[in-house]
Amino acid sequence: MVSYDPPFGYSLRVNGSCPERTKQCRATWDGFVACCPSESTCMVSDNNKNPICCPNEADCREPLFRTAHCANARWAMYEHYGLFCCKGEDQGFWTSEKEYNNGVGCARQPEGVSRTILNPIAQTISSTIFTYPQTATSTSASTSTPASAPHTSETTTPDYVSSSGDVHRGAIAGLVVGCVAGVALIGALVWYLFRRRRQMKQSGPGSDSQPPPGHYKKPGPSPQGELSELP
């Protein structure tokens, strides 16, 4: 089974000469050329003037239409009346110049009121969908609007993932609160016992205490002469 993953896919658009380890497939407009990896074969599509980089002379347009991607995973893909790719540090654009109307190219910072910057689109490589991460600026006439290119993939990461560290921190916090409450309870109990013991000592027998029940005090002798028996 033939794999159409990189170095096979849509070609690169550059101004001037093709970068290292690529070869020129065809010239496009105003100095821009289309490049494919050296180990691939350039194929020009009837409905896409930008060449496609195939494994051999066999037509690979159909499988690459279904799983569109650049011939290098580091390139970003753009679309404007057809698909083309730019190096990661460049931005894709199209021109409204009358002579080259709807011509596409790549530049670090496209200049001119006739050039409108495009945003990268998603690519599919081995059932993995992704968009090369970069920030583009849409320019039309004298105005510019920043546009951020999203990064998408087959698997997404949630904004927040609860970790076991959060559970551990919660358990530790609960343990600390429990310990503080236990110490406070023990302190209250000790204070209560100490206070009770002190009260018991203060309530012991004193000098003004009443005699215990059943105690009888013998009366003293009556003085003589106070009482006399009648004759």
What distance in Å separates the CA atoms of residue 60 and residue 53, rounded to the nearest whole number?
8
Chain segment 139-181, per-residue pLDDT in tens: 333 333 333 333 333 333 333 333 444 445 566 667 777 777 7
Sign of the alpha-carbon torsion through 61, 63, 69, 73: negative
What distance in Å separates the CA atoms of residue 147 and residue 203, rounded to the nearest whole number?
88
The pLDDT averaged over each successive group of 10 residues in the chain (231 residues) is 90 96 94 96 75 92 91 96 94 92 92 91 78 45 35 33 47 71 81 78 53 51 45 42
Q: Provide the residue ranges of all domains of the chain, joining segments of one domain with +.
A: 9-117
Which burial class, exposed, middle or buried, applies to 5 when counting CB atoms under 10 A from its CB (0-12, 13-18, 19+)? middle
CA quadruple 112, 115, 119, 123: dihedral, nearest 10: -130
At 37, phi and psi to the nearest 5?
A: -55, 150
For residue 19, the model assigns a pLDDT of 95
